[in-house]
Amino acid sequence: MSRHPSAIIAPGARVPKSCQIGPYSTIGPEVVLGEECRLISHVVLDGRTTIGARNLLYPFCSVGVAPQDLKYRGESTETILGDDNTIRECVTISRGTAKGGGVTRVGSNCLIMAYAHIGHDSQVGSHCILANAATLAGHVTIEDHVTVGAFSPIHQFCTVGAHAYIGGGTIVTQDVLPFSLTSSRRENKAFGINKIGLARKGFSPERLERLHKAFRLLLAAKMNTTQALEKIRQLEGEDVALLVSFIEKSQRGVIK
């Protein structure tokens, strides 16, 4: 492998020859790297950490470090990353806890920008963007194709639905509806569907129109959530069914 002389790779770590390990990086004894990963410099990989192929890790990021949980007593827990992720400067990704499921997971093709934090036992899907200083407390679930804006903290045990877009500086304390554009101006609100983002991802006009109708019933009609769901169920399409299922399963309530 391409390894700078100042880098430290502990005995037991599995690092393919195709990887590039930059200056002052440290890799712990239980770390497993996939092919063609690149650690630019000063990267810390610790704990039982498995990282897929072609991940790019920037200076001073820390992956698999002990959770920021006072109950943690050194239990053997994990961190798992998929393929083709970009982890920017000073990102921290904590490993799981025994009582929280034991695994912190990030999917594939994600961009985690500088100073973002992924807390213990969080589950991040694929094709997600966490902008600068986005903060996931422990046990947060981020589904696929989600964008979390800069300086947005997400409370423990919250779920952010697929294709949602969270505006910068939004404090999230309840579940975020899939497909929604949710932001904080004076208070947290869902402002309808993430129309531009969904169109860029190939959603047809028909799919967008069905989702628009569903969100109009949920957010704009003078009905409570139960009444709105009864109307929404009459609409067709997998996206609408996913939206209904998400609301029904929510434990913390959803941001409307």
Mean pLDDT by 10-residue block, N- to C-terminus, for the chain (256 residues)? 95 98 98 98 98 98 97 95 98 96 97 98 98 97 98 97 96 96 78 91 94 91 89 92 94 88
Please report the pLDDT score of residue 52 as a whole number. Answer: 98
**In this structure, CATH architecture of domain 198-249:** Up-down Bundle (1.20)
Please report the pLDDT score of residue 101 as a whole number. Answer: 94
Say what the pTM is.
0.92
C-alpha to C-alpha distances, 67 to 36, 98, 134, 221, 225, nearest whole angstrom: 27, 11, 17, 43, 37
- Please state, in angstroms and rounded to a whole number, the distance separating the CA atoms of residues 174 and 133: 19
The three-state secondary structure class of 27 is: strand
180: β partners: 193
Please report the pLDDT score of residue 185 as a whole number. Answer: 65
Rg of the chain taking only CA atoms, in angstroms: 20
Q: Which fold has domain 2-142?
A: UDP N-Acetylglucosamine Acyltransferase; domain 1 (2.160.10)
Please report the pLDDT score of residue 255 as a whole number. Answer: 86
- Please state, in angstroms and rounded to a whole number, the distance separating the CA atoms of residues 33 and 95: 16
| Catalytic positions | 120-121, 138
- Please state, in angstroms and rounded to a whole number, the distance separating the CA atoms of residues 97 and 223: 41
**In which residue are the tokens 């990963």 written?**
37
Please report the pLDDT score of residue 1 as a whole number. Answer: 76
Please report the pLDDT score of residue 187 as a whole number. Answer: 65
Domain ranges of the chain: 2-142, 198-249
- Please state, in angstroms and rounded to a whole number, the distance separating the CA atoms of residues 136 and 119: 5
Geometric angle at alpha carbon 44, from 91 and 69, rounded to 5°: 65
